[in-house]
A and B are shown apart, each in its own frame.
Chain A
Amino acid sequence: MASLRPRSLALRALRTAPTSSGPLYRHTSRLPSLLSQRSPNNRSHSTSSVSADEVSHFSKLASSWWDPMGPSRILHLMNPLRHEFIASCLADSAPAGSPVPQSSTPETAANLDYLDIGCGGGIFAESLARTIPLDRAASAPTPTRAASMTAIDPTTTLIQIARDHARMDPTVEAHMRSGRFQYLNTTLEDVLAGSTPASTSASTPASSSSPTGHQQFDMVTLFEVIEHIDPTTTTPQAFLANCLRALKPGGWLIGSTISRTFPSWILNQVIAEAPWPIGVVPRGTHEWSKFVNPSELYSWAQEGLMRAADTNVTRAGPAALDGMRWKCVGTIYVPGLGWKIVPGSEDWGNYFWAVKKGI
């Protein structure tokens, strides 16, 4: 059923098409998937890593993004594992974070600022925002120790879906009001250029700035994003370097993706995108050739760290890799049991990876 769903939704959207008008889409956000197809309302960016095809594909999925039985079910099921993987990275080596309030110890303080790149409908961003304590001085309720969350995505409809959904939880809504949790319809390039509209507002969480002036974060997350980068405008390597630029020294860049191997082709292209009842993800979600192997990612991360350390006058050498850490672990979806972390299965398909920037 999962794989048939988006098509039927698109049909429904087409039938009701004439009742909505383009420019008012923000207020009549009931049919975001349709509107994004008809009017090119996605932000245009001169230098963007965003692929137009990808944006239109995910716009179509938007309305069913939060349906627990919908096409995004498999992503929802993976979400708890993301928290566990982040917790394992922090257990290995935690960034210093913002100054710790007197009332809590450095190990349990909720003092890490997060940036979620490619947040989509907000599955991960909202779940992390829920763990931010309402009382700033309180110790963190979970090992992820979030103090703030900034989530960005280039797809306008998805950001609207994410904001609407976040309002359905009073805790998350309170964080959006206080500015400790924000969704920005922007690209990573714009965040780095410092042109994000909300980054000038007073409610923005206190994030330190890099030498070049843009915001930096303790934790940057990149879940199921790197395999959707547009190869015609940028390279995954350049994109990864940008992600590392957004990271404070000592911070973790954490992501998940799919490796480009024969078993993963069978699992992700042939089986997972097969018609109902076998398939679990909508057809066209993935493009096998864009998948990334752990070894490629590792070398891009090294290159990215050096590039991120470049300045206008000097080039950083291997010294930029001092203190770097690398973690990688595979996960496998077992129908009926859900996602399981299986060390050693990185080459089989989905895996989590993490890079720590040296101090």
Chain B
Amino acid sequence: MRSISRAALRPYVCHSCRNGIGAGRRRFATNSSQTPEIYDVVCVGGGPAGLGLLAALRASPVTSKLKVALVESQDLRKARSWDLDSTQFSNRVSSLTPSTVEFLRKIKAWEHLDVDRVQEYQDMQVWDGETGSRISFDWSTETSPFEDMRTVATMTENANLVRGLLSRIEASGDENLTLFSNTTVASIENGSDLQSEGPDLSAWPIISVAPTAPGAQAQSPTRIAARLLVGADGINSPVRSFADISTQGWDYNRHGIVATLALGDPDKPSFPANMRTAYQRFLPALGGPIALLPLPNNHATLVWSTTPENAAYLKSLSTPAFLAMVNAAFRLSMTDLTYMMGMERSSDQFSHEDELIWRLQHTPKQSQIPPSATGVQEGTVASFPLRFRHASQYISPRVALVGDAAHVIHPLAGQGLNLGMADVAALSRTIEYAVSHGMDIGDLLTLERYSSERYLPNAKIGGACDLLHKMYTIPGQGPITWARSLGLDVIDRLPFVKSFLMKNAEGY
């Protein structure tokens, strides 16, 4: 019986094993170590960017015949079979701009996502905790009152996106696709000139991949040659090190706290009924903004950028105290918040909850604040350091960097993943152009099309996020505070400036 299950598993079995299982042919290890198997595109890193590139290449009729491989150290089978109850949400959530969703639809990956787990929002309220100046991002100036409100962004769990992309890639599987799952890059080096035996691979990267599974270490690593080696391997990219590309940047000395929260009922029902809102309040005194982004079933994901000390303090709090702090952060004045951030952790007399209730009585009632957070999903409170990095270049002969390997930015505008997907869309377009014009897809003349399309937009968005972070971490009532509030108020009242900014941020 030629079972279906083998066909389904096929992409997850590495090439050499596949030959071993399938054909029962004998192969000598020495043979395979002499001549590497040649691939058109080898993508290191199976995150959203790497998988997005593969899915895009498989989706285009021009590039679907390319021989492609993906190298991922995690178990892709686990990612493929990821499943959570409909009331549970992963804490790794991303905001997808309409252009990213458009790209996912174009490569026919969107239909592989569980759409019951994604949440669109049509309005974003951003305000300054110091002065209260506020801006509301929605598309009402661009649409007529009779239309549905246009989506500002779509929230999705990264796991849902990764599973969908894997499913899309799997659906296109054939002999030109190899997924090296549970596999790390042991080394990357230049190939050699095979002289009269074959081609001159001395300028080609040869990747040695080794399985991470215990017991498999004894196996000799598989050697694969890449016409184009794509680094989608994150901030500490081994591909970037191989290509000897430097990065500039700094650590923000801030941590982002994430958590999945259950929300109470809003004070007044939203209108129209299906409209959802995202909220972000800048807290200059605490070192960064707090954001609450909607998820389905009246849930939300929290992203709170703050100093490492505050982050450690918040993570050590009991669940009710943590919730009180989150609700306080959207409601209380900077002075009250700073006080509460210094309260003793577990004192019976003065709990964070009571403190919040008492202080709220003395705080003027605000409009447009998020509903109260009423519960924290167990095990979802986590934090990660915030950094800024930008590679000095994205390309080198036969190497291209995408996503976090090329740029890491402050998450305050939720743009990180979208920039990575825009990279992938541009790189797949570049490869498509090259294939249809006889160009070598690893050649610098080909890759410079990708780099010139993406370098400046990424630098612009990354720089804008950095500037916003710096402006909004200056506490007190000084001239900068006055200027930023004036700026926010002015932009909110000038529809064309606001829609220009939004179009830039959304990638329209």
CB distance from A330 to the nearest CB of B (A): 20
Asked whether A144 lies within 8 Å of B438 as measured between CB atoms, the reply is yes
What residues of B have a CB within 8 angstroms of the CB of A173 in the complex? 198-200
Whole-angstrom distance between the alpha carbons of A53 and B361 in the complex?
A: 93
Asked whether B198 lies within 8 Å of A80 as measured between CB atoms, the reply is no
CB distance from A17 to the nearest CB of B (A): 26
Whole-angstrom distance between the alpha carbons of A68 and B395 in the complex?
A: 13
What residues of A have a CB within 8 angstroms of the CB of B65 in the complex? 141
Give chain A's interface secondary structure class: helix
Asked whether B198 lies within 8 Å of A142 as measured between CB atoms, the reply is no
Asked whether B199 lies within 8 Å of A68 as measured between CB atoms, the reply is no
Q: Say which one of B49-57, B69-77, B313-321, B439-447 lies at the interface with A.
A: B439-447
Whole-angstrom distance between the alpha carbons of A68 and B448 in the complex?
A: 10
Interface presence of B436 (CB below 8 A): yes
Known contacts A169-B199, A170-B38; decide if A83 and B438 are in contact (CB<8 Å): yes
Asked whether B445 lies within 8 Å of A167 as measured between CB atoms, the reply is no
Interface residues of A in 129-181 (CB under 8 A from B): 129-131, 141-144, 164, 167-170, 173-174
Interface presence of B213 (CB below 8 A): no
A interface, size bucket: 20 to 34
What residues of B have a CB within 8 angstroms of the CB of A130 in the complex? 438-440
Asked whether A168 lies within 8 Å of B203 as measured between CB atoms, the reply is yes
Whole-angstrom distance between the alpha carbons of A77 and B65 in the complex?
A: 25
What residues of A have a CB within 8 angstroms of the CB of B200 in the complex? 164, 167-168, 173
Interface presence of A84 (CB below 8 A): yes
CB distance from A341 to the nearest CB of B (A): 13
CB-nearest residue of chain A relative to B434? A80
What residues of B have a CB within 8 angstroms of the CB of A174 in the complex? 199
**Which residue of A80, A164, A167 contacts B437 across the interface (Cβ within 8 Å)?**
A80
Known contacts A68-B444, A141-B65; decide if A80 and B439 are in contact (CB<8 Å): yes
Can you offer 25 A-B residue contacts whose CB atoms are under 8 A?
Answer: A68-B448, A76-B445, A79-B438, A79-B439, A80-B433, A80-B437, A80-B438, A83-B438, A127-B438, A127-B439, A128-B438, A129-B438, A141-B62, A141-B436, A142-B436, A143-B436, A167-B200, A168-B199, A168-B200, A168-B201, A168-B202, A169-B199, A170-B38, A173-B198, A173-B200
Whole-angstrom distance between the alpha carbons of A77 and B437 in the complex?
A: 11
Interface presence of B435 (CB below 8 A): yes
Interface residues as binary, A166-207 with B (CB distance below 8 Å gives 1, 0 otherwise): 011110011000000000000000000000000000000000
CB distance from A108 to the nearest CB of B (A): 12
What residues of A have a CB within 8 angstroms of the CB of B438 in the complex? 79-80, 83, 127-131, 142, 144
CB-nearest residue of chain A relative to B63? A141
Whole-angstrom distance between the alpha carbons of A178 and B67 in the complex?
A: 21
What residues of B have a CB within 8 angstroms of the CB of A68 in the complex? 443-445, 448
Whole-angstrom distance between the alpha carbons of A315 and B445 in the complex?
A: 48
What residues of A have a CB within 8 angstroms of the CB of B436 in the complex? 83, 141-143
CB-nearest residue of chain A relative to B62? A141
Whole-angstrom distance between the alpha carbons of A130 and B483 in the complex?
A: 58
CB distance from A151 to the nearest CB of B (A): 13
Asked whether B445 lies within 8 Å of A142 as measured between CB atoms, the reply is no
Interface residues of B in 437-494 (CB under 8 A from A): 437-440, 443-445, 448
CB distance from A152 to the nearest CB of B (A): 19
What residues of B have a CB within 8 angstroms of the CB of A84 in the complex? 437
Asked whether A170 lies within 8 Å of B199 as measured between CB atoms, the reply is yes
Whole-angstrom distance between the alpha carbons of A83 and B443 in the complex?
A: 17
CB distance from B440 to the nearest CB of A (A): 6
Known contacts A68-B443, A68-B444, A77-B445; decide if A170 and B437 are in contact (CB<8 Å): no
CB-nearest residue of chain B relative to A129? B438
Asked whether A142 lies within 8 Å of B199 as measured between CB atoms, the reply is no
Which of A79, A83, A170 is the most central at the interface, judged by chain B CB atoms within 10 Å of its CB?
A170
What residues of A have a CB within 8 angstroms of the CB of B433 in the complex? 80
CB distance from B66 to the nearest CB of A (A): 10
Asked whether B199 lies within 8 Å of A167 as measured between CB atoms, the reply is yes
CB distance from B215 to the nearest CB of A (A): 34
CB-nearest residue of chain A relative to B40? A171
Whole-angstrom distance between the alpha carbons of A84 and B443 in the complex?
A: 19
CB-nearest residue of chain B relative to A73? B445
CB distance from B65 to the nearest CB of A (A): 7
What residues of A have a CB within 8 angstroms of the CB of B439 in the complex? 79-80, 127, 130
What residues of B have a CB within 8 angstroms of the CB of A80 in the complex? 433, 437-439
Interface residues of A in 250-284 (CB under 8 A from B): none
CB distance from B62 to the nearest CB of A (A): 8
